[in-house]
Amino acid sequence: MSKTEYLRLSTIALVIGLTVLVAVPSPASAQLSLLGGGTTSSTGTSATAVAVTVLGSTTMLASTGNLANATDALGAELDSASGDMGSAAVLHATAIGSGDSVASEASLGDLVLSIAGTQITATSAYATALADSTAGTSGWSSVDGLAVNGTSLVSTGEANQTINLGAITLVLNEVTQTASGITVNALHITSLDGTVDVVVASATAGQ
Amino acid sequence: MKNIIRNAAVSLLIGGLILVISAPAGAWPETIVYDFITGGGWFIQRPGSFSAGYRSNFGWHGGAKNGAWWGNGNYLDHGPISLHAHSIDVTGYLRIGDDTTTDPKHPTGVRDICGHAYVTYAGGSGNFWYRVRMKDAGEPGRDDKFGIALYAISPGGGIGGNVYTAWGQLNGGGNIQLHRGNNSNTGPSTYICPPAVFDDTFFFS
């Protein structure tokens, strides 16, 4: 190969390399600017239908995992789930990135739980969370047909409605807000002795 | 000049005929779009549904992602038929009618998701075609609507007769959310969907 040919091929290779570098889009930003100058990471955005922790060991059912970036989309659907502690049906979770905002949601139906001798049932639970580059974070949840040992409990819709039942504590519409995101749990149950922690319909955006 | 006018008239005539054929009276326009719709909750089946008066729970999502139709879902009919459907694949995703939002960041509207589902019910099980309709009418979700129709798979894999239809409004609980598209929203230019058999008056009122 002559020196001229070598230089010509090198130039062509350089041009091709630069063209590829310019043409291939970089991954969408994982950071979304929040109102007030804060930032949130899209990659913490996820949803889980049920998370059960017993003695420090956690099992998650119908969980999306985290978004890879702000233009990712993930979903998880499970027919039903049952175990020693209870059962649920139609478990659903999604996490969606729309570029400058991310959203997640989780839901399930026919919930039956037995924790520390207390039976908790619900027709349906749903939670959603949103982190937007201009509007900030928001979220809400609902639990329908909630009953404890057959007695109906009414959700007020207010954030962090706490019901202490002695052996267990229920938190409805549990909202945890940080500078970079939000987590909304439709129902969070913990046992007094600290051995059991169950989160039903959890949605996180940002974080 | 005469030729131009004549050609224009013929074009308008053909265009009009095509429009009439593709949009029968009473049907809402179906358009391929590349965005997402997600939702979960429950409803009481409306009159005309297979198990009218009974509760149904669902969780479903659909859209287009990385060049393919995308989605999955579950549906449970608590009536005597005890029917459960789980999506196997997605063969189409359509906007029905026009979106109605005034806020570009929070679109509202109707989407249909189509594909195959594995279905179990009292007395049997098997694969069927499905067409799911989801309407996001805004937050918090009490005006959102969900419908599902199942169709037999004919010999050769085609779309057979409609065997099950149910729909209702989420005034009990849950939510349906229409999401703007993103960079992953590339999809096929063709789709396969069974015919819509939902009550348009209900979904578009």
Nearest CA to B91 out of B125, B120, B130, B148 is that of B130
**Confidence category of residue A58, pLDDT binned at 50, 70, 90:** very high
pLDDT for the residue B153: 98
* Global ipTM: 0.85
Contact B183 A105 (CB under 8 A): no
Q: Is residue A135 included in any domain, yes or no?
A: yes
Pairing, β A101-115 against β A73-83: unpaired
Higher per-residue confidence, B187 vs B59: B59
Higher per-residue confidence, B101 vs A122: A122
pLDDT for the residue A42: 67
Pairing, β B159-169 against β B30-32: unpaired
* C-alpha distance from B100 to closest chain A C-alpha (Å): 19
Q: Is residue A162 included in any domain, yes or no?
A: yes
pLDDT for the residue A33: 54
Among chain A residues, the shortest Cα distance to B63 is held by: A73
pLDDT for the residue A31: 56
Q: Which of B71, B86, B179 sits opposite A103 (nearest CB)?
A: B179
pLDDT exceeds 90 at position B15: no
Q: Is residue A13 included in any domain, yes or no?
A: no
pLDDT (average), residues B78-102 = 95
Contact B59 A28 (CB under 8 A): no
What's the pLDDT tens digit per position in A149-198?
Answer: 999 998 899 999 999 999 999 999 999 999 889 999 999 999 999 999 99
pLDDT for the residue A5: 58
Contact B179 A70 (CB under 8 A): no
d(CA B13, CA B22): 14
Residues of B in contact with A107 (CB under 8 A): 39-41, 59, 174
Among chain B residues, the shortest Cα distance to A201 is held by: B40
pLDDT (average), residues B169-188 = 88
What's the pLDDT tens digit per position in B102-152?
Answer: 677 889 999 999 999 999 999 999 999 999 999 999 988 899 999 999 999
B168 touches chain A (CB under 8 A): no
pLDDT for the residue B69: 97
B183 touches chain A (CB under 8 A): yes
pLDDT exceeds 80 at position A55: yes
pLDDT (average), residues A106-124 = 97
Domain encompassing residue A88: 31-206
* C-alpha distance from B180 to closest chain A C-alpha (Å): 6
d(CA A137, CA A130): 5
Asked whether the CA dihedral B70, B41, B52, A119 is positive or negative, the reply is positive
What would the two tokens of residue A37 be? 């100058």
Q: Which of A78, A96, A107 sits opposite B179 (nearest CB)?
A: A96
pLDDT for the residue B13: 41
Contact A99 B39 (CB under 8 A): no
A21-28, long-range: CB within 8 Å, 24+ apart, which pairs? A25/B183, A27/A68, A27/A69, A28/A69, A28/A70, A28/A71, A28/A97, A28/A99, A28/B182, A28/B183
Count of domains for chain A: 1
Who's near B104: CB < 8 A, 6+ residues apart?
A: B180
pLDDT exceeds 90 at position B12: no
Number of A/B CB contacts below 8 angstroms equals: 121
Residues of A in contact with B182 (CB under 8 A): 28, 70-73, 96-99
* C-alpha distance from A84 to closest chain B C-alpha (Å): 23
